[in-house]
Amino acid sequence: MTVHSRTPTVRSILFTLNGSIIPVIWRRVLYTVLLSVGVVWADFHLFTLKVGLNAAPLTLMGLTLAIFLGFRNTVAYQRWWEARTLWGELIVASRNVARQTLAFLPDASQTTRRELVHSVIAFAYAMRHHLRARDPTADLTSWLPPPTLVNVMASPNRPSALLAHMGIAYATAARAESTNPILLAAIDKELGSLSHVLGGCERIQGTPLPYAYLLLLHRTVHIYCFLLPFCLVGLVGWFTPLLVGVLAYTFFGLDALGDQIEDPFDILPNDLPLDAYCLTVKNDLVALVGDGSADAVA
């Protein structure tokens, strides 16, 4: 995810490409501008053929399309924000589990407590890779003992398998230290929160917007931008390419932005910074457990 200054300058607003939607849509915008140039030339030089159309269809179609795009982008942003909320819950629950590990298992060995906290860190990385359909071996190797790593990697759902291992590990450690069952229940509640986060993220990832809906929207945007020069040439003449470029940038940009944030777990510039969230979990939990020698994992 690209983050910019909260007080951008005019220059940054006009010329910044990092995080902008321009690299995605510039070819489509350029095509409509070149089409507009051709339409204007034909209107001025082919006197026997006037290509201008009435602006009424443009107005009606533009209003409908704006409402359509607004609704679609609202739905996409809701998915993006829900995913951000869930990862925020993951960070909070991870801190709680680490804090409770130190407070509720004071007689456990440092090695046991470190392994328990490291498994929480591993869960964050496992979930990131699970949502992106990538191999988590490199990251999990730094935080899990080899036997646990083998068992987790053998599961088709690595974060779920890791949660099951964490539940057993915490229960075993609590019984060994004769921990009050109420305190163990508090830890299990936080593990349940991690499971809730995993299920919520899987629901977002596994329920995309209906393809027919998106196909209709994409086709309508392209048809509208294709008709723009024919409807504007009689009104603004040689200013048609400029106006068409601005309108095409707006409609193509909103369409492409909705595509990006619809899947908030991807690696596009406007998706969630899952790498940064995992790094936050790692840094916070390593500091809590006092394991300054742990390998830094990005």
> For each successive 10 residues of the chain (298 residues), what is the average pLDDT?
55 61 88 90 68 67 84 92 96 95 89 93 96 94 93 94 94 88 91 96 91 87 89 83 92 89 89 94 91 47
H-helix segments, 207-239: 211-236
Cα Rg, the chain, nearest whole Å: 27
pLDDT of residue 194: 96
Cβ contact 165:118 at 8 Å: no
Tokens of 125: 């990385």
pLDDT of residue 295: 44
pLDDT of residue 141: 94
Amino acid at 131: L
pLDDT of residue 213: 83
DSSP 209: P
pLDDT of residue 89: 96
Amino acid at 252: F
DSSP reduced 3-state for 135: coil
Rounded-to-integer distance, Cα 209 and Cα 69, Å: 13
pLDDT of residue 49: 53
Rounded-to-integer distance, Cα 119 and Cα 292, Å: 16
Q: How many residues does the chain have?
A: 298
Angle CA 214–74–264, to nearest 5? 75
Nearest C-alpha neighbor of 198 from the set 226, 235, 161, 247: 161
pLDDT of residue 61: 79
